[in-house]
């Protein structure tokens, strides 16, 4: 009989281009009890993105109103746009024993830890080198050259926060990095404090 547990928040952060989106997609495809928290953002949709699936796209005015209503577990401004994780959606998933993946930056990660530290496991993904990070960003071709240069500049500051995370994964190989993060997730699910049904299980075990 499965032992009841409380879900966890798996925070995944990295500089742009380090591979966290690929890792996140791999996790979601292979872990049925893990779902992605859909953030609200003031950023314009990119080609192929769908409102409500990739992000909840809102105006800056709507976002500000949501902040005033304390609707966010965390919110931050990144590359000139605002992003936020909706509090009620995350808390409801954890309460039913499932897990939430947050693909957020270091600013958001700090806020989430302050809000619900015992429910959080955090992973920072590093690129193997700056030249490789630059190659990946240009190969993605999702932004202008100017935007990519800004992301590379910002990456140096973002990487200063690696030591604020529980785990650090160097993404030299996407499949290996994914497996490392899956191992972290599986281990965190077994933490005693999250397995809220253990006391009853042991009582029944002893008869």
Residue 51 has pLDDT above 80, yes or no: yes
What is the reported pTM? 0.84
Residue 2 has pLDDT above 90, yes or no: no
Tell me the pLDDT of the chain averaged across its residues: 91
Residue 141 has pLDDT above 80, yes or no: no
CATH architecture of 9-190: 3-Layer(aba) Sandwich (3.40)
Query: How many whole angstroms separate alpha carbon 179 and alpha carbon 50?
Result: 28
- Average pLDDT on 86-112 reads 91
pLDDT of amino acid 78? 79
- Average pLDDT on 10-22 reads 90
Query: How many whole angstroms separate alpha carbon 113 and alpha carbon 124?
Result: 14
The two structure tokens encoding residue 83: 């992003």
pLDDT digits (tens, 9 = 90+) for 158-187: 999 999 999 999 999 999 999 999 999 999
Please, which pLDDT band fits residue 114 given cuts at 50, 70 and 90?
A: very high
Q: In what order do the strands lie in the sheet with 72-78?
A: 56-57, 40-41, 81-86, 72-78
pLDDT of amino acid 173? 92
* Residue partners of 84: CB distance under 8 A and separation at least 6: 39, 40, 41, 63, 66, 67, 71, 72, 73, 74, 75, 76
Residue 142 has pLDDT above 70, yes or no: no
Residue 143 has pLDDT above 70, yes or no: no
Q: Report the Cα–Cα distance between both ends of the chain, in Å, rounded.
A: 16
Residue 110 has pLDDT above 90, yes or no: yes
Residue 138 has pLDDT above 90, yes or no: no
Contact 9, 121 (CB under 8 A): yes
Tell me the domain boundaries of the chain: 9-190
**Residue 55 DSSP label:** B
pLDDT of amino acid 140? 67
- Average pLDDT on 122-151 reads 80
- Average pLDDT on 184-198 reads 96
């Amino acid at each position: 009989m499965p032992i009841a547990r409380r879900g966890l928040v798996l925070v995944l952060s990295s500089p742009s281009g380090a591979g966290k989106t690929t890792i996140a997609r791999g996790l979601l495809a292979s872990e049925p009890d893990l779902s992605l928290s859909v953030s609200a953002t003031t950023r314009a949709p990119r080609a192929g993105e769908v409102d409500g699936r990739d992000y909840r796209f809102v105006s800056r005015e709507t976002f500000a109103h949501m902040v005033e209503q304390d609707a966010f577990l965390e919110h931050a401004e990144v590359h000139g746009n605002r992003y936020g994780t909706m509090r009620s959606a995350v808390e409801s998933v954890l309460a039913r024993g499932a897990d939430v993946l947050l693909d957020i930056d270091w600013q958001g990660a700090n806020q989430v830890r302050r809000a619900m530290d015992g429910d959080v496991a955090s992973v920072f993904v590093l690129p193997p080198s700056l030249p490789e990070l630059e190659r990946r960003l240009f190969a993605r071709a999702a932004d202008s050259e100017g935007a990519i240069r800004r992301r590379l500049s910002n990456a140096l500051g973002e990487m200063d926060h690696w030591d604020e995370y529980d785990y650090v994964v160097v993404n030299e190989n996407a499949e290996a990095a994914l497996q490392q993060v899956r191992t972290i997730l599986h281990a965190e699910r077994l933490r005693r404090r999250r397995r809220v049904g253990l006391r009853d299980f042991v009582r029944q075990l002893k008869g």
